[in-house]
Amino acid sequence: MFSLLYGFWQKVFERVEYRVLILGIDSVGKTTLLERIKVDYKLSASLRPSAILPTVGLNIARVEDPACRLVFWDLGGQAGLRSIWDKYYREADSILFVVDCFEEARIAESLEVLEECLSNNDLVGVPVLVFANKQDQARGGSSTEALGSRIMDRGLFENHSIHHVAGGSAFEGFGVREGVQWLIKVMKTNQIKV
Ligand SMILES: Nc1nc2c(ncn2[C@@H]2O[C@H](COP(=O)(O)OP(=O)(O)OP(=O)(O)O)[C@@H](O)[C@H]2O)c(=O)[nH]1
Ligand SMILES: [Mg+2]
């Protein structure tokens, strides 16, 4: 009887856990974003960009939000490393796709990679946040709105009714908290987990 009650108590009060897969081509700032999230959730004291190296395997961070537990998976974005991304798709509760908007060739490559990623059957219906990173840079480039329009024009969100395009800076931190809160909100409504 005790174990039955205990099991019930555990089920009711255990923290819901959501997995966020951070994707994007190389050098767009995925790991910097993960480190910024760790600073925001007090897992790190400060951001040390010089200590961040190109990702070859996988970086993981577990954070405790008042609303839930979040597990972030940050994968390497170099062309030769993208072939393993799909091994993680089935486990993902949302996608955080990072884009660097300040070089046309890189934006075009990002959109191609985003298209391939979102057309995978294992990701149908999974909420997607596209994060237009490096907005702290003064030089010209594509605005967050322009990026959003290009994504809509190409119909990339066809299988992803829950989507959002937001701008910010992993480096300086603005836009990051709002992005994570948006993800939590939509993951909660997309998957009722008890
Ligand atoms: N100005 C600026 N630079 C940034 C920002 N985020 C990342 N960077 C820089 O971009 C470069 C690449 O950052 P990473 O976080 O290693 O990029 P990544 O997407 O994880 O790259 P891979 O691991 O190779 O896939 C580094 O020099 C960062 O300091 C940002 O918001 N603003
Ligand atoms: Mg990285």
Tell me the domain boundaries of the chain. 16-190
Residue of 167, 179, 174 whose CA lies nearest to 70: 179
Angle between helices 104-118 and 144-153 (to 10 degrees): 50
Instruction: State which residues have CB under 5 angstroms from ligand 2, the bound ion.
Output: 30-31, 55
Chain centroid, CA 35 distance in Å? 13
Which pLDDT belongs to residue 101? 87
Return mean pLDDT, the chain: 92
Q: Does 190 show up as a binding residue in the annotation?
A: no
Q: What is the rounded CA–CA span in Å between residue 160 and residue 73?
A: 20
Which pLDDT belongs to residue 194? 38
Which pLDDT belongs to residue 7? 64
Residue-wise pLDDT tens digits, 80-136 = 999 999 999 999 999 999 999 888 899 999 999 999 999 999 999 999 999 999 999
Residue of 82, 80, 78, 36 whose CA lies nearest to 54: 78
Q: Cβ neighbours of residue 74 under 8 Å, at least 6 residues apart?
A: 22, 30, 31, 33, 34, 55, 58, 59, 60, 61
Q: What percentage of the chain has pLDDT greater than the value 90?
A: 83
Which pLDDT belongs to residue 71? 98
Q: What is the rounded CA–CA span in Å between residue 49 and residue 53?
A: 9
Which pLDDT belongs to residue 126? 97
Does 3.40.50.300 match the CATH number of domain 16-190?
yes
Cα of 72 to ligand 2 centre, how many Å?
A: 12
Contact yes or no for 59/29 (Cβ under 8 A): no
pLDDT < 50 stretches in the chain = 193-194
Q: Does 148 show up as a binding residue in the annotation?
A: no
Report the run of H or E that residue 23 belongs to, with start and end: strand 17-23
**Ligand 1 pocket test: which of 27, 72, 177 has the largest number of ligand atoms within 8 Å of its C-beta?**
27
Cα of 30 to ligand 1 centre, how many Å?
A: 6
